Structure 1
Amino acid sequence: MPESEFEEARRAYQRAIDGDRQRPEPYGYLGQLYDRQQDYRQAARYYEAALQLRPQWQAVRYNLARAYLHQGADAKAYHHYRLALEQNPQDVKAYNDLGTLYERWGQFQTAASYYREAIARQPDRPQAQRNLATLLLKQNRPHEARVLLAGLLKNHANAADLHHLLGCCDRLSGHLEEALAHYLQSLNLDPHQAHVHQDLGKLFDRLKQPAAALICFKQAQTLNPQQLDLYGSCANMALQLERPAEAIANWLELIPRLPDYARTWLETLSQGWVAHQYESSSDSYDQAFLARQGIIQQLLTGADVSSCQQALAHLYRRWGDVRLEYGAILEAQTYYQLCLKLQPEDFQAKQGLGASLLAEEGNHKGLPLREGNHKGLPLREGNHK
């Protein structure tokens, strides 16, 4: 609603309240006005006032519950939903919303029962069926979800979200090509769905197509720049494509967007007093933590890409040392390879990778992996005392 229309309506309802403060209708309608503007705090205030004057006004009771639900005031929302159902046991919307509330609480069985109550009372209302299908996917029950979605699709063939959910069913069932087709159809119907671009990116990553995955993650990032995990996804794909500078640039872009608590936590990790605990230690795990501190400091200070790249390579090499020492050979190889993508001339990473390959060969021959079985290939200074 345009601001001028909103203000005109607000003044009219306020004049009605000033003329007769015992009439519940202006309070209820003013609450609805704020509700449409998504100002749920003000909406709840006026709904409460209306119900003080007319406690049995069920439609306002439901609206009040929903306003509290949007605010995250779960206990108040639950209380008013229960009252709304007592006043009208056929209120399908209240059953559906209670399902949403229980799903938020992680009580999936109870949530599903409320969704089914809504469906039983109004089978042609699609929202509860969508919600139940989404819940079944969370429970890894794609075949049951597909039955619901296929029924919905008969009457809503151009619903982009249904194709997305069907794609999720296919992905969970291992039918990746079919999932790809549904995701693409969903985006063809509505190209502005950030979460679908993200899911498509994850699917391309699983199909070992990092270039396509990166395009999808970037599009999702453009549509929803506040979703912080997308920066990490873009960085990971860039690393797979051996574009380390692009990966670092994504992390540097992420840091200023972090919430205060996350940035404070990172700053605490990067404090100098933490380093003193590890500087004199030759333990590989301690050295890895020290390397982690180095990359955090570089990112927090907005260092240039080259410096960050060097610090990240050092961290990968140190974690390679840790995994090799603990016998996780394939993980060690992955870390060393990541290091060498960032710093191709890192001699110690080359040594570590060679040691891990020898260890893997020894394991295949049935030789025990033990400390020293890669003699002559030091992993780091001081590890071959």
Structure 2
Amino acid sequence: MTANSHPLQLAVKYHQANRLAQAEQIYSKILEAQPNQPDALYGLGLLAQQRGKHSDALKIFQTVLGIQPKSFKTWFSLGNLRQAQGQWSEAVSAYQQALAIRPQEAAIYNNLGYALKQQDQLDEAIACYQKALEIQPNLIEAEVNLANALYAQGKLAPEKQTHYAEANYNLGQTQKKTGNLNTAIAYYRQAISLQPNLAEAHYNLGIALQEQGKLEQAVESYQQSLSLKPDYVEAHNSLGKILQEQGKLEEAVHYYQEALKLKPDYAQAYSNWVSALHKMNSIGIWQRLSNIWHKSGFWGVFSEAWKFFWMRFAGLSYLGRVATWLATWFARPYWGRCHLAYYHPQGYIAPSAQICHRNLQFGANVFIDERVTIFQDRHGGQVELGDRVYLYGYTYIQTGKNGTVKIGADTHIHPRCQFSAYKASIKIGCNVHIATNCAFYPFDHGMVPGKLMHLQPLKTKGDIIVDDGAWIGCGVIVLNGVRIGKGAVVGAGAVVTEDIPDGAIAVGVPARVVKLRADLA
């Protein structure tokens, strides 16, 4: 075992666990001691490729091949990189180099066949797919790609087209999850070619196109999915989001309303609908003051103008805090100040709130009440607050090493709640309501004897996830590795140690499902 084998194994472990920052740090330290360590260089190349830095990845892979010309995995990765860039002939060349080193790898023949098919070399592609299946008969991707090539030649039996349409769709889903959008789009389009009425393929094609910023094409895909499946609630919501991005607010509101008619408890659609309505119904300051004049006279106008004026300067800076304090002169405390969050998109941050976080991202019209604390410990990760998130008094959010907190739009977190994200993340969805005195801990302490408790290492079973529309009662404690499903209800005082399904009602210590909300109908 070499001196660098242990840190290299650790870096690979982090890489496989998608902890990219930690993996990159270890690769870099290895290269400080050994500048030409090929495995560490290869790891950095993969990281660059995952992050879309294709030119950096190309340079690193070429450097590795200069050190190890017969590195199979580097030639393979170089072929995948060229394929992702649409450089099909260069991809073919790289895959052939990999096969010269290791001629019995089914995955290489499959990828080589795909690159050849993109250059309309169908016979050669079919031969590659057949060779891949000869080596590994259960390689589904090669089987599907072979069917696609045969279909392009008019040789796929009609009775098999529906089966392979579904198979292409499933491969598209897999590729989308791993971030390979171009490949996912190709599979979705192949699925649609084989079965034009597959609404799910049109919808997911729209999602992939939207992620690439191809909004007009995404709109067409969503509309096509709705023409095939008018009650496709997710397509209504997604189409509304694109139209809202394009400034077509009335059309966006229509699609959100359609989604809510089909699914009244669809939390994301509700949040999007509120956002679009807020933008549609926002009026200028002079019209607002005119309306108040007719209702409340001079003092109403004066107090409104006072709050509007100072909230324009509100923010996290010292002067911003002073401006916020001045704005509160004519606003009652506690809930009486919630409306100040709507006076400006930067929202309301109480002067006494303690914000000590370098990686904090706010949505629009966020409300942060008195004595709220948002703190970043050493190496702590991001805190992201969605639009119209409300954090009430004495709530505490802290991120430590490998921990992040994300809170979705229109979520309300009531006083004295605590979120301590160490070792894993806390992810709260849209329209979640969390009552007072709740605590979320995505980590635990070791308890081995012979060591003081505060010196024990932290460990975790995974992230805490609270899905859209859930309701958490007073004093609930949620522990690591737990998912609380969409629309679930957790009764007061419960300790959640296991997953709670969508729409379930759970109570007790430990929390147990006692019924489903559907039973209440």
Paired position in structure 1 for 2:193: 202
Mark the CA change 1:182 to 1:303 in structure 2 (over 3 Å): closer, same or farther.
closer
SS class of match (1:147): helix
Paired position in structure 2 for 1:298: 251
Q: Please, which of 25, 43, 49 is the counterpart of residue 45 of structure 1?
A: 25
State the 1:117 CA deviation.
0.9
Alignment of 1:85-124 (within 5 A): 85-124=65-104
Relative to the length of structure 2, the TM-score reads: 0.40
Checking the alignment, whether the CA contact within 8 Å between 1:164 and 1:186 is kept in structure 2 is: no
Length, aligned pairs only: 239
Paired position in structure 2 for 1:137: 117
- 2:89 & 2:70 partners in 1: Cα distance? 21
- 2:250 & 2:168 partners in 1: Cα distance? 44
Unpaired segments ≥5 residues, structure 2? 174-183, 211-216, 260-521
State the 1:45 CA deviation.
2.0
State the 1:50 CA deviation.
0.3
1:73 to 2:53 alignment: yes
Mark the CA change 1:33 to 1:151 in structure 2 (over 3 Å): closer, same or farther.
closer
Checking the alignment, whether the CA contact within 8 Å between 1:159 and 1:189 is kept in structure 2 is: no
Render the CA deviation track for 1:257-290: whole Å, top value 9, x for unaligned. Answer: 54xxx743x11xx4xxxxxxxxxxxxxxxxxxxx
Paired position in structure 1 for 2:237: 253
Checking the alignment, whether the CA contact within 8 Å between 2:168 and 2:191 is kept in structure 1 is: no
Alignment of 1:257-296 (within 5 A): 258=242, 263-264=244-245, 266-267=246-247, 270=248
State the 1:79 CA deviation.
2.1
- 1:154 & 1:186 partners in 2: Cα distance? 23
Checking the alignment, whether the CA contact within 8 Å between 2:41 and 2:60 is kept in structure 1 is: yes
Q: Give, as a single letter, the amino acid of the residue that structure 2 aligns with 1:239.
A: S
1:236 to 2:227 alignment: no
Paired position in structure 2 for 1:54: 34
Q: Please, which of 129, 152, 156 is the counterpart of residue 132 of structure 2?
A: 152
Checking the alignment, whether the CA contact within 8 Å between 2:58 and 2:78 is kept in structure 1 is: yes
Paired position in structure 1 for 2:275: none
Paired position in structure 2 for 1:217: 201
Checking the alignment, whether the CA contact within 8 Å between 2:15 and 2:23 is kept in structure 1 is: yes
State the 1:134 CA deviation.
1.1
Which has the bigger relative contact order, CA under 8 A and spacing at least 6?
A: 1
State the 1:52 CA deviation.
1.1
Mark the CA change 1:87 to 1:165 in structure 2 (over 3 Å): closer, same or farther.
same
Relative to the length of structure 1, the TM-score reads: 0.52
Mark the CA change 1:41 to 1:174 in structure 2 (over 3 Å): closer, same or farther.
farther
- 1:193 & 1:107 partners in 2: Cα distance? 21
> Which has a greater percent of strand?
2
SS class of match (2:195): helix
Render the CA deviation track for 1:210-259: whole Å, top value 9, x for unaligned. Answer: 3xx33x538x85xx99545788546425536xx7x547x5652213554x
Q: Please, which of 91, 106, 125 is the counterpart of residue 126 of structure 1?
A: 106
State the 1:304 CA deviation.
4.7
Q: Give, as a single letter, the amino acid of the residue that structure 1 aligns with 2:10.
A: L
1:184 to 2:137 alignment: no
Q: Please, which of 134, 142, 153 is the counterpart of residue 173 of structure 1?
A: 153
- 1:57 & 1:137 partners in 2: Cα distance? 36
Mark the CA change 1:257 to 1:44 in structure 2 (over 3 Å): closer, same or farther.
farther
- 2:251 & 2:67 partners in 1: Cα distance? 60
Mark the CA change 1:72 to 1:120 in structure 2 (over 3 Å): closer, same or farther.
same
Checking the alignment, whether the CA contact within 8 Å between 1:95 and 1:114 is kept in structure 2 is: yes
- 1:139 & 1:255 partners in 2: Cα distance? 34
- 1:36 & 1:303 partners in 2: Cα distance? 38
Counting aligned pairs with the same residue, the percent is 16
Render the CA deviation track for 1:279-304: whole Å, top value 9, x for unaligned. Answer: xxxxxxxxxxxxxxxxx632245465
SS class of match (1:69): helix
State the 1:59 CA deviation.
2.0
> Which has a greater percent of helix?
1
- 1:184 & 1:45 partners in 2: Cα distance? 45
Checking the alignment, whether the CA contact within 8 Å between 1:234 and 1:250 is kept in structure 2 is: no
Paired position in structure 1 for 2:430: none
Mark the CA change 1:182 to 1:149 in structure 2 (over 3 Å): closer, same or farther.
farther
Q: Give, as a single letter, the amino acid of the residue that structure 2 aligns with 1:184.
A: H
State the 1:131 CA deviation.
1.5
State the 1:71 CA deviation.
1.6
State the 1:161 CA deviation.
0.8
